[in-house]
Structure 1
Amino acid sequence: MNDFEIHQFRCLSDNYGYLVHDKASGETAAIDTPDAKVILAEAEKKGWQITQIWNTHWHPDHAGGNLEIKEATGCVIIGPANESEKIPGIDRLVHQDSIVNLGARVARVLDVPGHTSGHIAYHMEDVQVAFVGDTVFALGCGRLFEGTPEQMWDSLEKIRALPTDTLLYCAHEYTAANADFAVTIEPGNKALQMYVDRVRALRADNKPTVPTSLANELASNPFLRADNEALQTAMGHPGDMVATFAEIRARKDNF
């Protein structure tokens, strides 16, 4: 779309920074703030003024640049109500089904705890994108630092329920490592093998594997496939999605 742009760039060792720009209003949102100096420099290169920060969760590689960017721009910081005490400089607290506007563009907030207790995602249905932080990765999902398998699976089901052509903008370039693990879980998954081949080709050229489509993840990402009967049986938990997810997550933690 000519009046809407997402600018993606590397931050820190493996984070992605995102600047979301609405041309009609001139508004720009930074999705999380892993590195304030890089984010401000990228905005300057684009000729954009950062007016908002949309935080997904409190971790320092997601909210650590809030105050520096706010001081430089006067932007409004939006973040999860359930982590408000941990989000530096937060101005507006949001939760499930809150609406966030970027000019005329609309994002609906999804509560997706698991990685942290108050993690949220931002779904912009009209442009078919979702900023999912560390809840979902290409071929992976976030570690359960503060939540339970039950919480995380419920969160993943919210992501799974989005339109399948939604592009998922996750926060890290973890896909090659996730691919190495995924093939140990579903070695016979042909869609997964094709995905892995694409990932290896992209990373060989130092190209990003993010964003990823929800359709691709539903076909290949083991963490989103805990409802698959064959996978449940392979993991030793037939008929139990949560236990299957928990088993896959535990295996990844020890991979």
Structure 2
Amino acid sequence: MSAQIHAFLCLQDNIGVLIHDPNTGACAAIDAPEEEAILAALAEKGWTLTDILVTHRHSDHVQGIDGLKRRTGCRVVAPAKAREAVPSADVWVGEGDGVLVGTLEARVLETPGHCADHVSYWFEQDRALFAGDTLFTLGCGRMFEGTYADFWKSLQRLAALPDNTQVYCGHDYTLSNARFALAADPDNAALKARVRQAEQAKAEGRFLVPSTIEQEKATNPFLRAGELSVAKTVHKEGAAPVEVFQSLREWKNTF
């Protein structure tokens, strides 16, 4: 049986995710934004927490770790570069490492840009990517550390995954991302349709997570920095895609 995945809201706009192995009963939380919300989701599904997979060190992704570890005895897997910020982790990981959740296997991809220690977890067999704050539905994270070239490289790595990869991100910023995307790529018909889906989902109390790599490549302006239509919007016709990406990200910071 394949992985079972459940996404739910934590805090104000964080997205909590559980990935469950029905073969062994193992279950991992991707990050730990809010202890009580994760415990409620576990109770709702009837799953037992065995692992926490940390994407990066920011407090809204790690603040529930200690409480969950005390209450469940779960193993905590965290980026080696976030060692000081997540001292209670049991396993430190970096580029190319494998992580097992029961029989489900993830590969660790270092995806710096939002912050230097950021990693994503790629469950290839289950076509599931847990991208944290690197890639959002219709957007990407704010850059706090490193260079735009680093961030662009991280996004290109994720965009190169199979089109049917399901993308689970760390926040529900979809409608604000959608407004920016329409400004950056106003003639994109696929984007307009995606925005309508996002608005309907919001009205029904849902959110557009997971997305897919195929959908993001078609509608996310930060993955479309190589498209002439997007480059024109930021007056960067003929520039390298990384320069277009930088202009887009800096514009989004003020949007």
Which bin holds the TM-score, normalised by the shorter protein? over 0.9
What is residue 194 of structure 1 aligned with on the other side?
Answer: 193
Q: Does 1:143 align with 2:147?
A: no
Q: Does 1:248 align with 2:248?
A: yes
Matches of residues 198-217 of structure 1 in structure 2 within 5 Å?
198-217=197-216
> Distance between the aligned counterparts of 1:53 and 1:11, measured in 2?
15
Q: Which amino acid aligns with 1:21?
A: H
Q: Which amino acid aligns with 1:54?
A: L
Matches of residues 94-243 of structure 1 in structure 2 within 5 Å?
94-237=93-236, 238-243=238-243
> Distance between the aligned counterparts of 1:92 and 1:181, measured in 2?
38
Deviation at 1:3, TM superposition (A): 4.7
> Distance between the aligned counterparts of 1:234 and 1:181, measured in 2?
12
Q: Which amino acid aligns with 2:31?
A: D
Q: Which amino acid aligns with 1:252?
A: K
Q: Which amino acid aligns with 1:134?
A: D
Measured against aligned partners, the alpha-carbon deviations of 1:145-186 in whole angstroms (never above 9, x if no partner) come to 123211110100110110011010001111011101111111
> Distance between the aligned counterparts of 1:167 and 1:178, measured in 2?
18
Question: In the superposition, relative to structure 1, how do residues 88 and 69 fare at CA in structure 2: closer, same or farther (>3 Å)?
Answer: farther
Q: Is the 8 A contact 2:76 2:90 kept in 1?
A: yes
Q: Is the 8 A contact 1:232 1:240 kept in 2?
A: no
Q: Is the 8 A contact 2:2 2:126 kept in 1?
A: no
Unaligned stretches of 5+ residues in structure 1: none
4+ runs of 1 displaced by more than 4 Å? Answer: none
> Distance between the aligned counterparts of 1:89 and 1:100, measured in 2?
17
The 3-state SS of whatever aligns with 1:85 is coil
Deviation at 1:229, TM superposition (A): 3.0
> Distance between the aligned counterparts of 1:147 and 1:203, measured in 2?
34
> Distance between the aligned counterparts of 2:20 and 2:3, measured in 1?
6
> Distance between the aligned counterparts of 1:190 and 1:46, measured in 2?
37
Deviation at 1:235, TM superposition (A): 2.2
What is residue 57 of structure 2 aligned with on the other side?
Answer: 58
> Distance between the aligned counterparts of 2:227 and 2:96, measured in 1?
28
The 3-state SS of whatever aligns with 2:247 is helix
> Distance between the aligned counterparts of 1:254 and 1:42, measured in 2?
35
> Distance between the aligned counterparts of 2:103 and 2:148, measured in 1?
37
RMSD of the TM alignment (CA)? Answer: 1.2
Q: Which amino acid aligns with 1:246?
A: Q
Q: Is the 8 A contact 1:63 1:88 kept in 2?
A: no
The 3-state SS of whatever aligns with 1:164 is coil
> Distance between the aligned counterparts of 1:33 and 1:218, measured in 2?
28
> Distance between the aligned counterparts of 2:9 and 2:51, measured in 1?
20
- TM-score for the superposition, normalised by structure 1: 0.96
Provide the aligned length of Structure 1 versus Structure 2: 254
What is residue 27 of structure 1 aligned with on the other side?
Answer: 26
Q: Which amino acid aligns with 1:24?
A: N
- TM-score for the superposition, normalised by structure 2: 0.96
